[in-house]
Structure 1
Amino acid sequence: MTPAEKLQNLLDAPAFKRWFSTANFSENGVSFPTQFMANWVHSYFSSQLFVAFGFEPEISVYKRPAAPVIKNKDNVIQLDFWEDNKRGCANSLLRAALFPPLPRGKRQFLKNVKLESVGAADIIFTGEQFDQTDLDVYLEILNFARPFPLGTPVSFSARAMLKALGKGNGGGLHKWLHSVMIRLRGGTLDITDKKNRYFGGLVKEGVLEEATEFYTIIIDTNFAKLFGFGMWSKIDIEERRALKGASSGIAKALHAYYSTHAAPSLHSYETLSKILGLSSVDRQTKARMIEAHKKLEKIGFLHNFEAKENGIRVSKKESRAQRKHLVDKWVEADKKRRKKAAT
């Protein structure tokens, strides 16, 4: 028997499918698509692997192909297109006032409210307002779900989630985390790009084993349609974590929004205010926006920015995919110019 077959006999079927269905077995060990999975298996399945291999095997990470949505022959959908130091999210969510930088204690319950947005998708929201801390948790949920086909129950401990968020492990934080999970599950989005329409939650359902404090979360497979509406973007998680202090909520929201653009044009203060879910564009609000852009410049996300009387123009570093998009866009425009000149 091969080590994989021996391991399959040692584990129950759900555990083997969850943690080893995407693994690559070799003579010397086993590799996984993410560092998180490799670390988890090393922590919880080392003894079983030793029995299966007959020695202590190497546990490593293999390089995954970059693809926004992967479908196999069984039409299984898996979102697995970002690196370990990035987080992925649908542009349609980041280009709307879905996760505004709300002041503490200022959440409202919205009913069938059309959110301000930039782009092709419209979002109508019902539920308790999300904010940037909810986006932090949501990005980590997607990251935990990354190695598995959508619809597969994804398990993680509350402690692992809090650690991923850079937080402690106190009882108050566990209560806070559960309140975020309930809020993400309760909020209903009705999203359309005039071609497809998705209505449901960011989280389909979840279970908390209170004795072990383990969450099992399921994301609706129809959620993948969001990644086809307005494309998707990667967020540099280290940059996002570096945004702290005054105006950090606005800075995080802008960081997420600008991450969906290869080369942002000048944005008026009014447009930025709408995206951020801010109620006014007074002098103080403009000052907070400018301060937030300074933070983005300081962490290296922006090369520079220019605050003008009518808005803010930014120059940001582009990802490889964004550079390719800009080149393709220029090539297509050049073809049209040449064709027009020839006629």
Structure 2
Amino acid sequence: MSAKPVANILANLEKTIAKHEAAKVYQLPFWPDPHRGFPNEVIRSALFSAIQSRHRTYLENEEICCQDGYKIIFTGQRLDQTHLDVFEGVMHVARGLHEGNNVRFSAHKLLKIIGRSTGRSDHQWLDRTFQQLTATSVKIMDKNGERVFWGSLLPSGAADLTTGGYCVELPRHLIKLFERGFTTVDFDRRKLLRGKPLAQWLQLYYSSHARPYPVTVEFLRNLSGSSATVKKFKQNLQDRLEELKTFGFINDWKIENDLVNVDRTPTPAQQRHLANRSS
């Protein structure tokens, strides 16, 4: 077979794949209360950093540390774990919906969903947080450097601040983040770690791995987006891992030769995944 027919076959195949992709309607997965679904590409990175709000800085087209296999470029004010709670709160309301839908909710309802108070200052905080999430540009590329996702985490919406009613767009690219893999976490248990962003980040990171493999302290420091020195981060890491063990999030942990080893029990779904891999 000559090179030209092969090239034509490949071109036609690419057109067919593109046509099927364009025709596909994506749907946000459904998870039950009190769980929350977190895209793996989000929680295996420093996109929502393990930092306190006072340490948030502005980044311009900078690469965000993430796990091997993809690349994240970010512009905007750094995001933290509280931003992640709001983002996932909206996704929780929207779970099960198809792309293109508008998600409607009240500020009071969303604040209750993410476990915050519902006073006037909390309503104002929520509105500011929405603006901060919208004022971001996130580009997630695969290992080949092809663009997979590019846009704002919450592109657009509308609100009536008098009644507290909100309406947020649910675009295709956000749902595709979940399509590529997500992890569910009991949010009531996550709230036990509020105010301790590294502990919250570690819980999500290790929950996304059925069988966590050893990584260095420096790796976790970079991946969590911590701005602490290595020495200070290591001490904080030890304290937070012990806290995760106390609360039953992990079974045990140890650091040997700067390698962090964590033992946790896989979820039933992860156990089935491991069984399928070994069969």
Is TM more than 0.5 here?
yes
Residue 272 in structure 1 maps to residue 220 in structure 2: yes
Residue 232 in structure 1 maps to residue 162 in structure 2: no
In structure 1, C-alpha distance between the alignment counterparts of 2:174 and 2:193, rounded to whole Å:
29
Residue 212 in structure 1 maps to residue 181 in structure 2: no
Letter in 2 for 1:208: A
Tell me the CA shift for residue 281 of structure 1: 4.5
Tell me the CA shift for residue 227 of structure 1: 2.8
Letter in 1 for 2:103: V
1:258 — aligned with what? 206
In structure 2, C-alpha distance between the alignment counterparts of 1:180 and 1:281, rounded to whole Å:
28
Residue 170 in structure 1 maps to residue 119 in structure 2: yes
SS at match of 2:209: coil
The percentage of aligned residue pairs carrying the same residue is 30
1:199 — aligned with what? 150
| Equivalent residue runs for 1:1-343 within 5 Å | 75-193=24-142, 194=144, 196-229=147-180, 231-244=181-194, 248-331=196-279
CA contact under 8 A between 1:145 and 1:154: conserved in structure 2?
A: yes
In structure 1, C-alpha distance between the alignment counterparts of 2:83 and 2:153, rounded to whole Å:
11
In structure 2, C-alpha distance between the alignment counterparts of 1:274 and 1:178, rounded to whole Å:
30
Tell me the CA shift for residue 117 of structure 1: 0.7
In structure 2, C-alpha distance between the alignment counterparts of 1:158 and 1:178, rounded to whole Å:
9
In structure 1, C-alpha distance between the alignment counterparts of 2:209 and 2:33, rounded to whole Å:
21
Tell me the CA shift for residue 234 of structure 1: 1.2
CA contact under 8 A between 2:27 and 2:96: conserved in structure 1?
A: yes
CA contact under 8 A between 2:47 and 2:79: conserved in structure 1?
A: yes
In structure 2, C-alpha distance between the alignment counterparts of 1:101 and 1:282, rounded to whole Å:
14
SS at match of 1:78: coil
In structure 1, C-alpha distance between the alignment counterparts of 2:98 and 2:135, rounded to whole Å:
23
1:61-87: CA deviations, max 9, x gaps? Answer: xxxxxxxxxxxxx84322123221211
Tell me the CA shift for residue 228 of structure 1: 3.9
CA contact under 8 A between 1:132 and 1:249: conserved in structure 2?
A: yes
CA contact under 8 A between 2:212 and 2:263: conserved in structure 1?
A: yes
CA contact under 8 A between 1:270 and 1:281: conserved in structure 2?
A: no
Tell me the CA shift for residue 284 of structure 1: 2.0
Root-mean-square deviation (Å):
1.6
Between 267-276 and 234-243, report the one with greater CA deviation. 234-243
CA contact under 8 A between 1:302 and 1:317: conserved in structure 2?
A: yes
Letter in 2 for 1:286: K
Letter in 2 for 1:301: F
SS at match of 1:176: helix
In structure 2, C-alpha distance between the alignment counterparts of 1:105 and 1:196, rounded to whole Å:
32
Give structure 2 stretches of 5+ with no counterpart. 1-22
In structure 1, C-alpha distance between the alignment counterparts of 2:26 and 2:194, rounded to whole Å:
35
TM-score normalised by L of structure 1: 0.71
SS at match of 2:53: coil
Tell me the CA shift for residue 302 of structure 1: 0.2
CA shift in 2, pair 1:108/1:206, >3 Å: same
SS at match of 1:148: coil
User: Quick check: which has more Rg, 1 or 2?
Assistant: 1
SS at match of 1:278: coil
CA contact under 8 A between 2:61 and 2:74: conserved in structure 1?
A: yes
Tell me the CA shift for residue 294 of structure 1: 1.3
1:215-245: CA deviations, max 9, x gaps? Answer: 101121122322344x221122122111145
CA contact under 8 A between 2:30 and 2:96: conserved in structure 1?
A: no
In structure 2, C-alpha distance between the alignment counterparts of 1:167 and 1:244, rounded to whole Å:
10
CA contact under 8 A between 1:89 and 1:139: conserved in structure 2?
A: yes
Tell me the CA shift for residue 169 of structure 1: 1.6
Tell me the CA shift for residue 319 of structure 1: 1.2
In structure 1, C-alpha distance between the alignment counterparts of 2:278 and 2:192, rounded to whole Å:
33
